[in-house]
Chain A
């Protein structure tokens, strides 16, 4: 079952604009992660935010986490054509016997127009 759900499903912006993607999840988490996937490639890890953190930055990326609303957002500032990709949030879900599984949302497809 899907733990994280991204919104919007697709987003098209002009180069230089900011892009914001949201992720909502259902059950409590330890960490939330964001990944990027370029067409025809594997996923690339972008950033991990722990449940006790509210905001995290990495270069042009800013991630926020609101555990009370069970939601996260990924902001990409000053977007570039090279940012065109699908973006996925992933949350850990307890699967029993002390182990966790990472579950992915369906992704937001971002198109940055030069």
Chain B
């Protein structure tokens, strides 16, 4: 998985609780992304980062925030989890911008009850 780890790999949480997912890379790539994958929707971009402290919104950013204080770490936070955020979350990295190939982590399966 190209030097990308995600933690936790599985999480069950209750509605209304905060949740933070972590993506860690050892490739020193500039760009990092958070996607969610749901049946019938494919992959949808939540947020992305183009450098330390530089982030921007994706297609489905409502209810999510991100932070990147170091090149290697990109955090995704659900401030108050809802059942609609039950999904599989993937982190990805790329050396150049979004037009180029991306390398994906193994995913985090999040269930909000």
Q: Which of B50, B90, B98, B100 contacts A43 (CB 8 A)?
A: B90
Contact B42 A104 (CB under 8 A): yes
Contact status B42-A88, CB under 8 Å: yes
Cβ B101 vs Cβ A45 within 8 A: yes
> Which residues of chain B are within 8 angstroms of A41 by Cβ–Cβ distance?
106-107
Question: Which candidate, A12-20, A57-65, A73-81, A95-103, is the interface stretch facing chain B?
Answer: A95-103
Total A-B pairs, Cβ < 8 A: 60
Q: With an 8 A cutoff between CB atoms, is B99 at the interface?
A: yes
Question: CB-CB < 8 A to A44: which residues of B?
Answer: 104
Checking B43, B56, B106, B107 against A88 with a beta-carbon cut-off of 8 angstroms, the contacting residue is: B43
**B64 contacts A by Cβ under 8 Å:** no
Can you list the 10 inter-chain pairs with the closest CB atoms, starting with the nearest? A42-B104, A106-B42, A104-B43, A92-B99, A45-B101, A43-B104, A100-B98, A102-B98, A104-B42, A100-B99
Distance (Å) between the CB of B45 and the closest chain A CB? 6
- Bound CA span A99–B94, Å: 14
The CA-CA distance from A43 to B2 in the complex, in Å, is 11
Let me know if B99 and A31 touch, CB within 8 A.
yes
